[in-house]
Amino acid sequence: MSTGPFRPELIPLPRSLSSDGGENGMHDEASDTSDDDLSSVAPSADAHSDRGTPMDDASSRVPTEVGAQLHAIPPVVNSAQEPSAMSLLRQETVVRRQKMAVDEYGFYRDPSPTNHSHPSSAAIGMAQSGKQKVSVGSKEQQWLDLLSHWDKQFAKKRSKIKKLGRSGIPESLRAKAWTALAGSDKLKEPGIYERLLAEGNSPLFEVIERDISRCFPEHSMFAEEGGEGQTNLRNVLRAYAVYNPEIGYCQGMGMLAGMMLMHMPPEESFWLLVSTLEKHLKNFFTPVLLQLRMDAAVFEVLLHKTSKRLAVHLDKQEVPPLMYITQWFLTLYTTTLPWDTVLRVWDMLYCEGVKPLFRIGLAILRVNRDTLLKQCPTNAEILSLLLHLPRDKLEADHLVEASLRVKIRRADIDHLRKRISLMEIPERGTVSLLRKQRSPH
């Protein structure tokens, strides 16, 4: 392909000119199923395109549609008149910032409902059920009481804390609560953070640098190139890389640090990152992602236990959990769920430990179960769904409730983790407790 004139022979078939069109196509094809299922199998019209592209399967597409699609081709622009992509982007970013409001979490919100990356559940239009809801005022008071006698309360009131965590920590106390729950305030030693920044150096700084402007570019705190938010993010990640050279930096950690910085100052964020990676995500980010690969095997067993049919289906289609939980776990769902759901997951994680991480993942599969079984016959559809989840079933209360219905015990996880840790884990590839060791080949 290096020589000779280009002869265009391969013609990409555009999925459709607009995402609406694509959705309609899907609707037409499967009009005999319920609306609920449709909305989730239809390619997520998520125009936030760095989440990837909704796929256009439709192997049964009717002839006229292909014809119609072939005509629906983006207009050809004469390359001579084009401004550079860079300047286009810059302009667009400026325009967007001026036009766009910031949502309650600080994300720029596109006026069009399908076009923002982190819709809150309110935006999706799900009403809260209200049942068994503790009012915000009294919840705040309960947290204040807990936090004021933390050392005494913490050990005694585990189950109360767990319950409170499941209903969501009030935004005003979230930073305090996370810090106390993770024990990062205890970990913090004065002066260390500054020293790490002043004296440290690591070849990983270059790797970190590549990701700084790519971390939450849709959030007002991090959008500005070279702004304070990006500087803080760089500092927290650099400090960690120096503080713990064994882990250093791994993609995914930027999302964690970013989330923390949205709630607390850089130094506190750094210590929360330290304790989170030590307590909750221990060994997840090691050079061979050891714990992640082991937990994928744990997840596989739990899925078999809690949803056998789905587990068998995914297994048959060669979709091992590692293919989807990598993104879910390594970013603690920040790149997966609507933002207010993400916050609730983090609340539970700090209140309960690692169990919610599994439970939420299993709940995501559960709420999409029918779609996966009935409308995702091959791994292409399955993966397109799982890696670009339709937002409508991920509303916070709904997903948390679904996760609480996933009956697993902490002891199950501990037991499975122990079993897998006794196995020989290869440097690469998936591991499984359900079959004999899978080799990379």
Partner 1 sequence: MAARPSARDAAASLNNSATSAGGDAQNAANLKPIQVKLVLLGEAAVGKSSLVLRFVNNEFQENKEPTIGAAFLTQKCKLDDKIIKYEIWDTAGQERFHSLAPMYYRNAQAAVVVYDITKPASLDKAKSWVKELQRQANPNIVIALVGNKLDLEATARGVPREEAQAYATEAGLLFSEASAKTGDNVMDVFTEIAKKIPLDQLLASRGRAGGAASGSGAAAGGRVDLNAGPGGRNAQPGGCAC
The residue (of 144 and 288) whose beta carbon lies closer to partner 1 is 288
Residues 131-170 that bind partner 1 (CB under 8 A): none
Phi, psi of 148 (to 5 degrees): -75, -25
**Using an 8 Å Cβ cutoff, are 341 and 396 in contact?**
yes
Pick the binder of partner 1 from 6, 35, 131, 135 (CB under 8 A).
6
CA angle at residue 186 from 181 to 191, to 5 degrees? 135
**Quick check: 56 binds partner 1 (CB under 8 A)?**
yes
For the CA atoms of 266, 326, 42, 96, the dihedral, rounded to the nearest 10 degrees, stands at 20
For the CA atoms of 215, 217, 223, 229, the dihedral, rounded to the nearest 10 degrees, stands at -20
Residue reference for tokens 């004469």: 78
- 28: tokens are 């037409």
The residue (of 218 and 397) whose beta carbon lies closer to partner 1 is 218
**Quick check: 191 binds partner 1 (CB under 8 A)?**
no
**Quick check: 76 binds partner 1 (CB under 8 A)?**
yes
**Quick check: 1 binds partner 1 (CB under 8 A)?**
yes
* Amino acid (one-letter) located at 323: M
The residue (of 5 and 137) whose beta carbon lies closer to partner 1 is 5
The residue (of 29 and 268) whose beta carbon lies closer to partner 1 is 29
**Quick check: 361 binds partner 1 (CB under 8 A)?**
no
CB of 148 to partner 1, least distance (A): 39
Pick the binder of partner 1 from 20, 50, 145, 228 (CB under 8 A).
50
Residues 280-339 that bind partner 1 (CB under 8 A): 285-289, 293, 313, 315-320, 322-323, 326-327, 330-331, 335
**Which stretch in 193-201, 268-276, 355-363, 429-437 sits in contact with partner 1 by CB under 8 A?**
429-437
**Which stretch in 140-148, 182-190, 245-253, 392-400 sits in contact with partner 1 by CB under 8 A?**
245-253
CA angle at residue 339 from 337 to 340, to 5 degrees? 110
**Using an 8 Å Cβ cutoff, are 371 and 429 in contact?**
no
- Count of C-beta atoms within a 10 Å radius of residue 140: 16
**Quick check: 276 binds partner 1 (CB under 8 A)?**
no
**Quick check: 61 binds partner 1 (CB under 8 A)?**
yes
**Quick check: 440 binds partner 1 (CB under 8 A)?**
yes
**Using an 8 Å Cβ cutoff, are 329 and 345 in contact?**
no
CA angle at residue 294 from 292 to 295, to 5 degrees? 65
**Quick check: 2 binds partner 1 (CB under 8 A)?**
yes
